[in-house]
Chains A and B, each alone.
Chain A
Amino acid sequence: MNELLIKIGEQIYLVIISVSVAILIGIPLAVVITRCKKLEKFTLGFIGVLQTIPSLAMLAFFIPLFGIGVVPALIALSIYSLLPIVRNAYIGILNVPSDMIEAANGMGLTSWQRLRLVEIPLAMPTIIAGVRTAAILSVGVATLAAFVGAGGLGDFINRGLAVNDNHLILMGAIPAAILALSLDGLIGAFEKWIKPGASKQGSKKNKLLIFASSFLFVVGLFGWFVISEVKYNSGKVVVVGSKNFSEQYLLADMIAILIKENTDLKVQKKLNLGATSLIHQALVRGDIDLYPEYTGTAYSGILHAKQKKGARQIYYSVKKFYQKKYDLLWLKPLGFENKAALAVTRKSANQYGLRNISDLPKVPRLSIGAPAEFVERPDSYLSLVNTYGLKFDEINQMDPGLAYEALANNKVNVIMAFSTDGRVKKFNLVLLDDNRNGFPAYQAAIVVRNQTLKKYPELNSELNKLSGNISDEDIMELNYETDVLGRSHKDVAREFLLKKGLI
């Protein structure tokens, strides 16, 4: 419950700040284009084009420029809020009746006075309608901010998708919907309230007071954000990152607990940094200090290497490359491999006699459910085609969480799964043996910035305690505990560390 409140707070914060920024930029911009019509087509067109960029693409685009966290999310959200605000303000000001403009001019108002006292007040209902649209829109888009580590209700949705938990998804989606509705209502009430003559006698002071306090509120939010950012960035803080799936949360929690218990460093977690390129950027930029990665993923995704190699060679190529190119250190492997694997239901395994991947051609109409990365990454799809001569009749891009459901519901007959996934156990699936080594090795290990190790030498020995200490069986069991039994990652992680005598 406490966490829910925090996430709602973060969501509100993202929406309010970004809409405020959009207002501060958008309304002056609208004024400029009403005064200088030549700019109108270009400006509205340009903002319109920005609006059509898919939100995730925009967020991803900002990572190299602004890193991860609240900043890129706020920038993207502000950009999305800009169009309705600028467009409405523009239309509102343009539609102020010409006799009002004439009266203002004829009485001798300067153009600034005319804008302030006549045009803006008369355009206000239209302007507020624009703000309303922007606010509702950005509540929705802000759930995506979780992908760049900005928090908010999207964290629940992300996590829910990662561990296939509908309750978690709803815990993010329902408050977001309620938030959108209440913002809509609130702004509507505000609009009625500022209407001229709506409430008289001494109301001016009240209105001023409310305007002032909401202004202070926004400034306060902003200040709080700046202070908390500064606080995190100063002091002895280690930022632990993770991708957006359950095993990563678990490993991040383990690392965080280990550091907290055994050193006097503070730890901040930035979870849910989805794609490999994204979290890698974050590490290179120093937005995070370390995260658990898999050798095979780095080998193909970062090194873009295609050559087949054994597990040890892959580890050393990756380590060398990271050291030289990025000044990042791969610690010794943790001990388990999270390999890509193909899974089928037990029923079809029995029906077609499937044990190895090479048996798959026996299945008529092969339809696979796999993450979007699958087709693009040379180590997955192409490797399967080349090694086993597999042909898929249908490739369905889906989130890992959804793929299991799809397989259980016979929507697809094979999925790309991960060898350590607790859900393999839950859905009683059969992992096909990679008998011809079609998938590269995926040893898990912690990648850490050399600068961080230099700054906090005590980290080195702590992090290395995990090396070689988590076996395939261990991780499958831990994943089962969290994903299938629904226990919290923190508890499971702590329990494991205690059992191993590491804390």
Chain B
Amino acid sequence: MIELINVSKTYDNGLNYSVRDISLQLADGETFVLIGSSGSGKTTILKMLNRLISPSGGEIYIDGKNIRELDKVKLRRSMGYVFQGVGLFPNMNISENISLIMKLGDAKKKLCRDKSAELLETVNLEPGKYLDRFPCELSGGEQQRVGVARALVNNPKYLLMDEPFGALDAINRDALQEELIRLRDRLNTTIVFVTHDILEAKKLGDQIAVMHSGELMQVGSFDELSTCPSNNFVKRLIESAQQSQL
């Protein structure tokens, strides 16, 4: 379980809030979607969860432990992170990219390669074709898939995903979303999923948290949000989803 209590992040000596007084609870096994327009503080929240950013105020607990007291490196390795810009390392091939953390944990080369192959299959890429390629030899969609595979390498209990399918065409995005749903059900992973796409939020999210300029507007399932939206912003967001579905 992940719990945020009154978490804020300010910049410029407390003048600008990028996240303001957020309290959230994420249950194990659920997919928790953070939605909001660009600059609303989604990435900031995600980064605070694995201590890439430290909050200016408030506390974060993971499985009952305050993350300030956890070892940064261990904490990060125990969580998968899919970065907004994918962030594959151009100097390593796909197999090395995926299994980097395993290798640092002294896993044997063969084991690393086998695990990479397995994960490539999970994200629907043919291992024989991709294992030895370099990131620059992959399309944007393929890179995104590798990014997901890399985040899964340690069988993490928590998977943080920052607009992972943002750069994909509709067909690819749909396919990957289906993939993710199957994966989640199989692995029972808790996912924190950042998106600006309300349809994606609806499709994936057990719970949806709506963010607007650093503040939390409402949290709930899609149905809860649509039946009683807490304000106009949420209402318009839900309406935009219903319109585009017609």
Q: Which residues of A contact B104 (CB under 8 A)?
A: 109, 113
Q: What is the interface of chain A mostly: helix, strand, loop, or mixed?
A: helix
Q: Which residues of B contact A113 (CB under 8 A)?
A: 104
A319 to chain B minimum Cβ distance, whole angstroms, is: 69
Q: Which residues of A contact B137 (CB under 8 A)?
A: 197
Q: Which residues of B contact A106 (CB under 8 A)?
A: 47, 50, 52, 76, 81, 83, 87
A121 to chain B minimum Cβ distance, whole angstroms, is: 4
Q: Which residues of A contact B110 (CB under 8 A)?
A: none
A198 to chain B minimum Cβ distance, whole angstroms, is: 10
Q: Which residues of A contact B77 (CB under 8 A)?
A: 107-108
State which of B74, B83, B87, B134 has its C-beta within 8 Å of the C-beta of A108: B74
Residue of A nearest to B84 (CB): A99
**B134-A197 in contact (CB<8A):** yes
**B76-A108 in contact (CB<8A):** yes
Question: B92: CB under 8 A from chain A?
Answer: yes
A107 to B100, alpha carbons, bound, how many Å?
9
State which of A100, A105, A108, A197 has its C-beta within 8 Å of the C-beta of B89: A100
Q: A108-B73, A108-B74 are in contact. Are A102 and B52 (CB under 8 A)?
A: yes
Question: Which of chain A's residues 104-156 have a Cβ closer than 8 Å to chain B?
Answer: 104-110, 113, 117-118, 121-122, 124
B127 to chain A minimum Cβ distance, whole angstroms, is: 16
Question: A501: CB under 8 A from chain B?
Answer: no
Question: Which of chain B's residues 69-98 have a Cβ closer than 8 Å to chain A?
Answer: 72-77, 81, 83, 85, 87-93
Residue of B nearest to A101 (CB): B87
Residue of A nearest to B78 (CB): A108
Classify chain A: how many residues form its interface, as a range.
20 to 34
A474 to B90, alpha carbons, bound, how many Å?
74
A443 to B2, alpha carbons, bound, how many Å?
94
Question: B101: CB under 8 A from chain A?
Answer: yes
B1 to chain A minimum Cβ distance, whole angstroms, is: 21
Q: Which residues of B contact A110 (CB under 8 A)?
A: 73
Residue of A nearest to B101 (CB): A107
Q: A108-B74, A108-B76, A200-B132 are in contact. Are A99 and B83 (CB under 8 A)?
A: yes
**B52-A103 in contact (CB<8A):** no
**B136-A107 in contact (CB<8A):** no
Residue from A100, A110, A197, A201 having most chain B Cβ neighbours under 10 A:
A197
A269 to B93, alpha carbons, bound, how many Å?
56
State which of A107, A196, A200 has its C-beta within 8 Å of the C-beta of B76: A107
**B93-A197 in contact (CB<8A):** yes
B26 to chain A minimum Cβ distance, whole angstroms, is: 19
A110 to B76, alpha carbons, bound, how many Å?
10
- B binding-site residues for A, Cβ under 8 Å: 47, 50, 52, 72-77, 81, 83, 85, 87-93, 100-101, 104, 132, 134, 136-137, 150
A107-B81, A197-B134 given. 5 additional CB < 8 A pairs?
A: A99-B87, A106-B50, A117-B89, A196-B91, A196-B134
A to B CB contacts below 8 Å, 11 in the list = A99-B83, A100-B89, A102-B52, A108-B74, A108-B76, A109-B104, A110-B73, A121-B91, A124-B91, A196-B90, A196-B93
